Amino acid sequence: MADNMSLFMERLPEMLLSFGAKLIVALIIFLIGKWIAKAISNVVKRLMGKGKMDSNVAQYLGNLIYGVMLAFVIIAAIARLGVQTTSLVAIFGAATLAVGMALQGTLGNFSSGVMLLIFRPFKVGDSVIAGGINGKVHDIGIFATTIIPSDGRKVIVPNGKLSNDTITNFSVMPVRRIELSINVPGNTDINAVRDLLRAVIDSESDLLKDPAPAIVMTDANAAAIIFGIYANVKNEDYGRIRASMVEKVKLALTTKGFWA
Q: How many structural domains comprise the chain?
A: 3
At 74 the three-state DSSP class reads helix
Residues 130 and 208 in one domain: no
CATH number at residue 245: 3.30.70.100
> Among candidates 219, 206, 187, which has minimal Cα distance to 245?
206
Query: What's the pTM?
Result: 0.61
145 occurs within a structural domain: yes
Residue type, 257: G
Residues 153 and 242 in one domain: no
pLDDT tens for 208-238 read 998 899 999 999 888 899 999 999 999 999 9
Ranked by mean pLDDT, which of 63-67, 109-113, 176-180, 187-191 comes out on top? 176-180
Q: Is the pLDDT of residue 8 over 60?
A: no
pLDDT tens for 56-106 read 666 767 777 777 788 788 878 777 777 666 666 666 666 565 555 544 556
Query: Is 248 exposed, middle or buried, given 0-12, 13-18 or 19+ CB atoms closer than 10 A?
Result: middle
108 occurs within a structural domain: no
Residues 149 and 184 in one domain: no
Calpha distance 189→208 (Å, rounded):
28
165-183: average pLDDT: 92
What is the number of other CB atoms lying within 10 angstroms of the CB of residue 161? 17
Query: Is 77 exposed, middle or buried, given 0-12, 13-18 or 19+ CB atoms closer than 10 A?
Result: buried
CATH number at residue 40: 1.10.287.1260
CATH number at residue 147: 2.30.30.60
